[in-house]
Amino acid sequence: MKTNKMPVPPEKQSWPLPKNDYWSTPFAEALMHHLDLFPGASVLDVASGHGTPAFHIAEQVGPKGQVLGIDLHPAQILRCRSNQRTHLPWLSFEQADVRTLPANLGPFDRITGNIAFMFFRPDRFSALKQLVEFLKPGGQIVLTFPSLGTFDSLWQRIDREMASRGLTREREKLVEYLEERPSAEHARQWYQDLGMERVEVNEWPLEIPTGPGEEFLFHPLLRGGFLEDAYECFEDQALAHAVMNTIADDIKSFTPLTALRCAMAAWRPAE
């Protein structure tokens, strides 16, 4: 059973979760809430990004452990290695695609992925099934992602604007995007279909502040992670800009913006 105690207590941590990251850190906190770590554990962190929470996990498992962070993007790997320098030598970062991992990679005591599950497209179940195969019998997997319902007020406002302009094709593409998003129920069902044990799937709200106009349109989180999906619904990008500029001047109609942090945890049966 999980003790909810860190091997390295907060007052002694040199690599805590970053306080100035208002997106990755809240999701990582949800992940760590479920993750049962112990000194000497081997951990695979998928879609490791800029290292939240890989650095934190590495400190927790200690020098007898092993943490491997993998990411598809070389720039992320270089950034993590630059930040790491000679610290935590039992932590390493490598470029790899979570959907096509080499068979000799594992196995691991724990598998984690912060805001990772959203990147398992197009067949999330198959990617999850493959990932579980790298888990030792009796091992635990914990993934987080923004689940179905995230920023729904924004998508509804975009849909209303499209409808008022008679943009039928663009609305259809928006619906396709929204229906593709995974939900907490999807996560729970996939774990159950894989025969996993002690399945826990929980959601926590996270409010993302923004102002109007360019502050909204070029918001570092919204533009890179979500608004681009709205722009992709348009073949005519000039039209897309017109629609989004109208919405950016009407943020009172869809704020506060609320994301749903979903943490999905389960254990592979012991053999």
Scan for tokens 């996939």, then name that residue.
Answer: 190
pLDDT at 95: 94
Q: How confident is the model at residue 230 (pLDDT cuts 50, 70, 90)?
A: very high
Q: How confident is the model at residue 5 (pLDDT cuts 50, 70, 90)?
A: low
pLDDT at 2: 53
Q: What is the CATH number of the domain that holds 48?
A: 3.40.50.150
48 and 159 together in one domain: no
Retrieve residue 190's tokens: 């996939």
| pLDDT more than 90, % of the chain | 83
242 and 142 together in one domain: no
**Beta bridge mates, 200:** 265
- Mean pLDDT within 189-216: 97
Q: How confident is the model at residue 11 (pLDDT cuts 50, 70, 90)?
A: confident
- Is 48 within 8 Å of 54 (Cβ atoms)? yes
Q: Is residue 77 part of a domain?
A: yes
Residue 225 has pLDDT above 80, yes or no: no
Q: Is 93 exposed, middle or buried (0-12, 13-18, 19+ CB in 10 A)?
A: buried
99 and 167 together in one domain: no
118 and 27 together in one domain: yes
119 and 40 together in one domain: yes
- Determine the 3-state secondary structure of 264 from DSSP: strand
Determine phi and psi for 264, rounding to 5 degrees. Answer: -115, 115
Print the domain residue range for 41: 10-147+182-207+259-267
pLDDT at 208: 95
106 and 187 together in one domain: yes
- Burial profile 136-159: b = 16 or more Cβ within 10 angstroms, e = fewer: beebbbbbbbbbbbbbeebbebbb
- Mean pLDDT within 165-170: 98
188 and 201 together in one domain: yes
The span from the CA of 200 to the CA of 215, in Å, is 37
Residue 3 has pLDDT above 60, yes or no: no
- Mean pLDDT within 151-174: 97
Its pTM stands at: 0.92
The domain tally of the chain equals 2
Which residue blocks in 135-267 are alpha helix, DSSP H?
A: 152-164, 168-180, 184-193, 214-217, 222, 228-231, 237-248
Q: How confident is the model at residue 224 (pLDDT cuts 50, 70, 90)?
A: confident
94 and 78 together in one domain: yes
Q: Is residue 199 part of a domain?
A: yes
Determine phi and psi for 162, rounding to 5 degrees. Answer: -60, -40
What confidence tens digit (pLDDT) does each residue in 110-129 have? Answer: 999 999 888 787 789 999 99
Q: Is residue 224 part of a domain?
A: yes
